[in-house]
């Protein structure tokens, strides 16, 4: 039976802890300068800046969580009600009080020695520019209100919650991606919409924000049953009901439509979005390549950037008129590419040979070392006559096919090249996964000794994974060099290896769609190791956010955003066997035991 | 040694010595197995039983002496080549690829073959009808007995001349051990030579034709299963009977 709870029925300790945690998060974001820096970015005129969004979600989340009840199986959850709102509000109020105390502390004690951003700017931001007295009161009200809002989200029915969530989310996304939205409007030749939506000084106007929110609410409420998923299901049903000939004809139509979209996309995206798309594409290729080594063959390679560097330097050394080693003949990109591919495969085998006898952590550490060694070699005086040392190699010519030049500066043109590479590597990865080799990699990953006993040549299989991974990275590197026009050792740091790894882990190891999502979310939105993503403001805090995402994913969703079936089976396998054991435990008549 | 067959043995150890670093594991081992026979290798812990199997599969290379398959020297070859020539193993504790389906497990067993597998699958389904029911299931979710069937099936998929079994009774409940030995017997009756390493001497000798006893790397006894079962020395040391 569900029970209504009295308004005071909560653990004081839990509420205080939740409030303190919220305060800690807000203070941290303020102290590292995120609040101050993001405050310059207006989202909704005279209502919301990116800075306050960066702290505002915290009381909402903690208010929601504190009021939520852990559901215990077999016991009906208590009826939601005013008690939950009170809990949320209290959590928010505690957070507000502690944050105000932090602002007051920063005012009276000089903390700038530790946190450089805790100066007057931060204090003013934390007190809404109203002075410590009235400002603290405002902060407490601000946090309490958001806490209550969070709790209210919990109290309302899921349908209402999803409508409100999607509406507010959409409005905020439209506000955050102002620059990109403007460019898209330009691409679609409806620039007028942008001038209606956004105020000339930046940010949505209050009216347009309200209008967008209302519009989304209306769509959610009246558009029920016509959502994209419903449409997709209907199309799929229609597709399966067709005869094979019709399907074949349709696949031609789909192919032609896809090609048309491919031609049009960069024109709509415009220059800067195309640039982002190119970066995403290159990292997607690198992610797919690394996935063959890590996801399919199960070898944790932390020095993957080495092969990217080999591809980029290979092309630079062979095609640049300013190549340091003039005795090397200057070649055209398309002549140089096969050479680079062969060299990369060779380097992959060369690095692979000594390390494949190792497993797990040891393999990771040794590959990490190799990655560093290669970067240091490109930087060294020893190799300087060939690769140019710290000055690198400049004036790498861009790619051209016949009369068509894919100039690096013209990101719309480069997009066409990268898209082809992405498609090619995608198809290759997909086919490998279900091939004989792919099967041997899967067996290898599961039980190397047994795989060997089955006759799988483990050395060849592993070296093949290394070589294929190396070639794919080198292809991305070659395109990178031709696009950027120069290569420097500093472009091939350890960080690049790690970012690629994070992309495939967050997306879902072994899942091709997952890696695509990972690349879009991390590289496209947050930005790559050097280039900014769509959220330009996050530039300085990119790695911090990467870290937070990675930790969160490892704790809550280790199989990634869009996991592969096999991989999530592996991660949840222990639970599975435990359950199997439990199922059997009460069932001795079976006379069969289950081994873990 | 009682010689029952006069043709070329399927598997033969000729004075094999094996070392792990400076430590000698196998010491002048001689084993002969004729086609269609079921032979077991008995011995306690650390007597060199598993090393013997690894030597056959080429995972360990003998320091001297040679292993022959059908009269051809296979010691020194890679595991892949040896498996290709007709040796396969059911590992200790079965060790299926737990997260793959039963069918995927069977397919990996036939990894070195590129011809049609339908016939072999049918043969395995005939021997173990239950495997057919479980084809799409994850191997890790099977019961112990079913896992053993899949493990044997996986090894049979490469159409071996000699099937090696490493401790088939290990970690199984007594009822399952009996069921398991029944499986081995059926495989053997169907024409596959079986070489089995086992600690459970009673069980093994009850179905085997002949047996060898390995002690700290040396063959100390070799006889027919009946004689071994009757051998007082054997009974005292391995069969748990004192008279």
Q: What is the DSSP string of A389-417?
A: GGG-B--PPPEEETTEEE-TT-HHHHHHH
DSSP string across A94-111: HHHHHHHHHHHHHHHS--
Rounded distance, CA A466 to CA A473, Å?
Answer: 11
A198-240 residue pLDDT tens: 888 888 888 888 999 999 888 888 877 667 777 778 777 777 7
- Whether residue A407 contacts residue A420, with contact meaning beta carbons closer than 8 Å, is answered with no
Flag whether pLDDT at A572 surpasses 60: no
Closest residue by Cα to residue A296 from A577, A520, A570: A570
Non-local (6+) Cβ contacts of A301 within 8 A are: A290, A293, A294, A363, A364, A367, A466, A469, A497
Interface of A with B in 545-584 (CB under 8 A): 566, 569-570, 573, 576-577, 580, 584
- How far is Cα A504 from Cα A293, in angstroms, rounded to an integer? 11
Same domain, A201 and A276: no
- Segment among A514-518, A579-583, B66-70, B131-135 with least mean pLDDT: A579-583
Residue of A nearest to B53 (CA): A453
Residue A79 has pLDDT above 60, yes or no: yes
pLDDT at residue A187, as a whole number:
86
From the options 3.40.50.300, 1.10.10.60, 3.40.640.10, 1.10.472.10, give the CATH code of B1-86+161-243: 3.40.50.300
Question: In angstroms, rounded to a whole number, what is the distance separating the alpha carbons of residues B56 and A209?
Answer: 75
Residue A576 falls inside a structural domain: no
Residue with the larger pLDDT of the pair A201 and A320: A320
| Same domain assignment for residues A306 and A191 | no
Q: Which two tokens stand for residue B204?
A: 């093994």
* A399 lies in some domain: yes
Q: Quick one: A225 and A281 in the same domain? A: no
What is the average per-residue pLDDT within A508-529?
A: 88
Query: pLDDT category, A565, cuts 50, 70, 90?
Result: low
pLDDT of A338 reads: 96
* CB spacing of A446 vs B158 below 8 angstroms: no
The structure tokens listed for A273 are 């979005």
Residue where a domain stops, chosen among A229, A246, A281? A229
Closest-CA residue of B relative to A568 is B99
- The reply to whether residue A455 touches residue B112, judged by beta carbons under 8 angstroms, is yes
Q: Measure the CA–CA gap between B72 and B102, rounded to whole angstroms.
A: 34
Burial class (CB in 10 A: 0-12, 13-18, 19+), A512: buried
Nearest Cβ partner of A453 from B57, B99, B107? Answer: B57
Q: From the CB of residue A67, how many other CB atoms can be counted at a distance below 10 Å?
A: 28
A541-574 core/surface letters (b: 16 or more CB in 10 A; e: else): bbeebbeebbeebeeeebbbbebbebbbbbeebe
Q: What average pLDDT score do residues B105-126 get?
A: 86
Which residues is B87 bridged to in the sheet?
Answer: B162
pLDDT of residue A408: 79
pLDDT > 70: what percent of chain B?
95
CB A279 within 8 A of CB A531: yes
User: Residue B204 and residue B167: Cα distance in Å, rounded?
Assistant: 10
Between chains, do B172 and A591 touch, taking CB under 8 Å as contact? no
The pLDDT, as a whole number, for residue A5 is 67
A126-183 pLDDT, tens digit each:
888 888 889 999 999 999 999 999 999 988 888 888 899 999 999 999 998 888 888 8
CB–CB contact B172 A443 (8 Å): no
Alpha carbon distance A175, A163 (integer Å)? 18
A319 and A379 housed in the same domain: yes
Beta-carbon separation of B144 and A449 below 8 A? no
The DSSP secondary structure of B161-221, one letter per residue, reads SEEEEE-TTTT--HHHHHHHHHHHHHHHHTT-EEEEEES-HHHHHHH-SEEEEEETTEEEE
Is B242's pLDDT higher than 60?
no
A580 to chain B: which residues are within 8 Å by CB? Answer: 140-141
Could you tell me if A113 and A187 are in contact, meaning their C-beta atoms sit under 8 angstroms apart? Answer: no
Q: Is the pLDDT of residue A271 over 70?
A: yes
CA-based nearest distance A566→chain B, Å: 7
Which A residues, 452 through 511, put their C-beta within 8 Å of a C-beta on chain B?
452-457
ipTM for the predicted complex comes to 0.87
- A344: in domain: yes
Which residues in chain B belong to E strands, given as ranges?
Answer: 11-20, 23-33, 38-42, 64-69, 72-73, 87-90, 162-166, 193-198, 210-215, 218-224
> Domain check: are A75 and A192 in the same one?
yes
- What's the pLDDT tens digit per position in B9-61? 899 999 999 998 889 899 999 999 999 999 999 888 788 888 899 999 998 89
Q: Does A357 touch chain B (CB under 8 A)?
A: no
Tokens of B211: 């047996």
Q: What confidence score (pLDDT) does residue A71 get? A: 63
Nearest alpha carbon to residue A504 among A479, A523, A481, A478: A523
- The pLDDT-based confidence of A463 (bands split at 50, 70, 90) is very high
Question: Domain residues for A25?
Answer: 12-229
- pLDDT of A592 reads 41
Examine the domain organization and report whether A217 and A318 are in the same domain.
no
Tell me A156's DSSP state.
Answer: S
- In this structure, the answer to whether residues A194 and A327 fall within a common structural domain is no
Q: What is the mean pLDDT of residues A61-66?
A: 88
Q: How many CB atoms lie within 10 A of CB A298?
A: 21
Q: Is the predicted pLDDT of residue B114 greater than 90, yes or no?
A: no
Q: Is there a domain that residue A434 lies in? A: yes
Which structure tokens are listed for A314? 């290979």
Burial of A109 (0-12, 13-18, 19+ CB in 10 A): exposed
Q: What are phi and psi of B22, to 5 degrees?
A: -85, -10
Q: Could you tell me if residue A383 is inside a domain?
A: yes
- A457/chain B closest Cα distance in angstroms: 6
Residue B175 and residue A591: Cβ atoms within 8 Å?
A: yes
Mean pLDDT score, B99-117: 86
Cβ distance of A446 and B93 shorter than 8 Å: no
Confidence check: pLDDT of A589 > 50:
no
Contact at CB, B172 and A439, closer than 8 angstroms: no
Number of other CB atoms surrounding residue B40 within 10 Å = 28
Residues in B closer than 8 angstroms to A439, CB to CB, are: 104, 107-108, 111
CA distance, residue A588 to nearest chain B CA (Å): 12
Mind listing the pLDDT tens digit for each residue in A394-404? 999 999 888 88
pLDDT score of A586 more than 80? no
Closest residue to B91, CB basis, from A453, A570, A592: A453
Q: Where are the domains of chain B?
A: 1-86+161-243, 95-159
- Residue A319 inside a domain? The answer is yes
Question: Out of A453, A457, A592, whose CB is closest to B144?
Answer: A592
Between positions 237 and 296 of A, the ones with CB within 8 A of B are none
CB contact under 8 A, A576 and B140: yes
Q: In chain A, what residues touch B140 (CB-CB under 8 Å)? A: 573, 576-577, 580
Work out the angle between the directed axes of helices A132-155 and A158-176 (0-180°, nearest 10): 130
Which of B97, B157, B176 would you mutate first to test chain A, the one with the most A CBs within 10 A?
B97
User: Is the CB of A457 less than 8 angstroms away from the CB of B78?
Assistant: yes
Query: What kind and span of H or E run contains A337?
Result: helix A333-355
- Give per-residue pLDDT as tens, A168-198: 999 999 998 888 888 888 888 888 888 888 8
Neighbours of B81 (CB within 10 A): 15
- pLDDT score for B232: 83
Contact B217, B224 (CB under 8 A): no
Residue B2's pLDDT is 47
Domain boundary among A435, A467, A493: A493
Collapse the DSSP code of B28 into the 3-class scheme (helix H, G, I; strand E, B; otherwise coil) and give the result. strand
Question: Residue A567's pLDDT is what?
Answer: 58
Full-model pTM: 0.85
State the pairing for strand pair B64-69/B210-215: unpaired
Give A7's pLDDT tier (boundaries 50, 70, 90). low
Pairing relation of β-strands B38-42 and A399-401? unpaired
Look at A447 and B89 and tell me if their CB atoms are within 8 Å.
Answer: no
Interchain contact, A439 vs B98, CB within 8 Å = no
User: pLDDT-based confidence at A418, cuts 50/70/90?
Assistant: very high
Domain count, chain A: 2
Contact check, Cβ <8 Å, B154/A446 = no
Q: Is it the case that residue A427 has pLDDT exceeding 50?
A: yes
Read off the pLDDT of each residue in B139-148 and give the average, rounded to a whole number.
Answer: 85
What average pLDDT does this structure show over B207-226?
Answer: 89
- Give A57's Cβ-side CA count (13 Å radius): 11
* Residue A214 shares a structural domain with residue A340: no
């Amino acid at each position: 039976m569900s029970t209504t709870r009295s308004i005071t029925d909560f653990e004081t300790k839990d509420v205080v802890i939740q409030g303190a945690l919220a305060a800690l998060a807000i203070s941290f974001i303020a102290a590292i300068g995120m609040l101050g820096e993001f405050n310059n970015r207006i989202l909704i005129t005279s209502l919301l800046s990116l800075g306050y969004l960066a702290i505002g979600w915290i009381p909402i989340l903690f208010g929601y969580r504190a009021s939520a009840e852990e559901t215990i199986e077999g016991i009906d959850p208590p009826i939601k009600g005013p008690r939950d709102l009170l809990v949320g509000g209290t959590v928010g109020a505690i957070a507000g009080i502690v944050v105000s105390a932090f602002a007051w502390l920063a005012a009276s004690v000089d903390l700038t020695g530790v946190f450089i951003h805790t100066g007057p700017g931060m204090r003013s931001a934390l007190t809404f520019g109203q002075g410590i007295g009235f400002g603290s009161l405002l902060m407490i009200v601000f946090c309490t209100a958001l806490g209550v809002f969070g709790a209210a989200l919990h109290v309302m029915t899921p349908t209402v919650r999803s409508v409100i969530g999607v509406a507010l989310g959409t409005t905020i996304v439209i506000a955050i991606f102002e620059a990109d939205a403007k460019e898209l409007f330009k691409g679609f030749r409806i620039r007028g919409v942008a001038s209606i939506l956004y105020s000339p000084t930046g940010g949505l106007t209050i009216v347009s924000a309200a209008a967008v929110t209302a519009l989304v609410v209306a769509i959610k409420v009246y558009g029920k049953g016509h959502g994209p998923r419903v449409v997709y299901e209907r199309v799929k049903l229609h597709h399966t009901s067709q005869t094979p000939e019709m399907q074949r004809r349709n696949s031609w139509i789909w192919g032609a439509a896809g090609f048309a979209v491919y031609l049009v996309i960069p024109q709509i995206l415009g220059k800067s979005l195309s640039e982002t798309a190119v970066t995403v594409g290159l990292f997607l290729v690198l992610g797919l390549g690394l996935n063959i080594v890590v996801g399919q063959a199960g070898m944790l390679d932390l020095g993957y950037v080495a092969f990217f560097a080999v591809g980029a330097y290979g092309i630079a050394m062979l095609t640049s008129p300013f190549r340091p080693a003039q005795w090397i003949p200057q070649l055209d990109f398309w002549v140089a590419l096969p050479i680079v591919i062969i060299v990369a495969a060779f380097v992959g085998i060369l690095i692979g040979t000594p390390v494949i006898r190792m497993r797990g952590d040891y393999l990771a550490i040794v590959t990490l070392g190799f990655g560093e060694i290669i970067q240091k070699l490109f930087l060294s005086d020893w190799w300087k006559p060939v690769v140019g040392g710290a000055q690198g190699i400049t004036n790498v010519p861009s790619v051209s096919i016949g009369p068509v030049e894919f100039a690096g500066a013209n990101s719309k043109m480069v997009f066409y090249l990268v898209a082809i590479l992405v498609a090619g590597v995608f198809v290759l990865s997909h086919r490998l996964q279900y091939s004989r080799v792919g099967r041997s990699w899967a067996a290898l990953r599961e039980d190397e000794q047994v795989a060997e006993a089955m006759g799988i040549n483990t050395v060849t299989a592993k070296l093949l994974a290394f070589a294929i991974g190396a070639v794919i990275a080198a292809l991305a590197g070659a395109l990178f060099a031709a696009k950027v026009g120069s290569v420097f050792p500093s472009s091939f740091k350890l960080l690049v290896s790690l970012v690629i790894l994070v992309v495939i882990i967050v997306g879902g190891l072994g899942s091709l769609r997952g890696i695509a999502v990972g690349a879009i979310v991390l590289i496209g939105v947050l930005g790559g190791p050097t280039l900014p993503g769509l959220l330009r403001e996050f530039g300085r805090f990119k790695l911090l956010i990467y870290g937070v995402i990675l930790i969160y994913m490892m704790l809550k969703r280790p199989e990634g955003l869009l996991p592969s079936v096999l991989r999530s089976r592996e991660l949840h396998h222990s639970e599975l066997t435990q359950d199997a054991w439990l199922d059997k435990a009460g069932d001795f008549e079976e006379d069969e035991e289950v081994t873990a | 040694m009682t010689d029952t067959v006069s043709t070329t043995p399927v598997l033969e150890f000729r004075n094999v010595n094996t070392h792990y670093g400076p430590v000698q594991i196998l010491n002048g081992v001689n084993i002969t197995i004729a086609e269609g026979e079921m032979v077991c290798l008995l011995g306690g812990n650390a007597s060199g039983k598993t090393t013997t199997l690894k030597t056959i599969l080429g995972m360990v290379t003998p320091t001297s002496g040679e292993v022959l398959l059908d009269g051809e020297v296979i010691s020194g070859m890679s595991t892949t080549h040896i498996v290709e020539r007709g040796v396969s193993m059911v590992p200790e504790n079965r060790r299926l690829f737990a997260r793959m389906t039963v069918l995927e497990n069977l397919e990996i067993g036939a990894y070195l073959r590129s011809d049609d597998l339908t016939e072999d699958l049918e043969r395995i389904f005939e021997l173990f009808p239950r495997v057919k029911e479980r084809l799409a299931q994850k191997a890790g979710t099977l019961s112990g007995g079913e896992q053993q069937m899949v493990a044997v099936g996986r090894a049979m998929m490469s159409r071996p001349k000699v099937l090696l079994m490493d401790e088939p009774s290990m970690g199984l409940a007594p009822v399952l051990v009996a069921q398991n030995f029944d499986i081995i017997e059926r495989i053997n009756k169907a024409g596959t030579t079986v070489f089995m390493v086992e600690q459970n001497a009673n069980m093994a000798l009850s179905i085997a034709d002949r047996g060898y006893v390995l002690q700290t790397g040396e063959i100390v006894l070799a006889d027919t299963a009946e004689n071994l079962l009757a051998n007082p020395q054997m009974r005292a040391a391995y069969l748990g009977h004192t008279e």
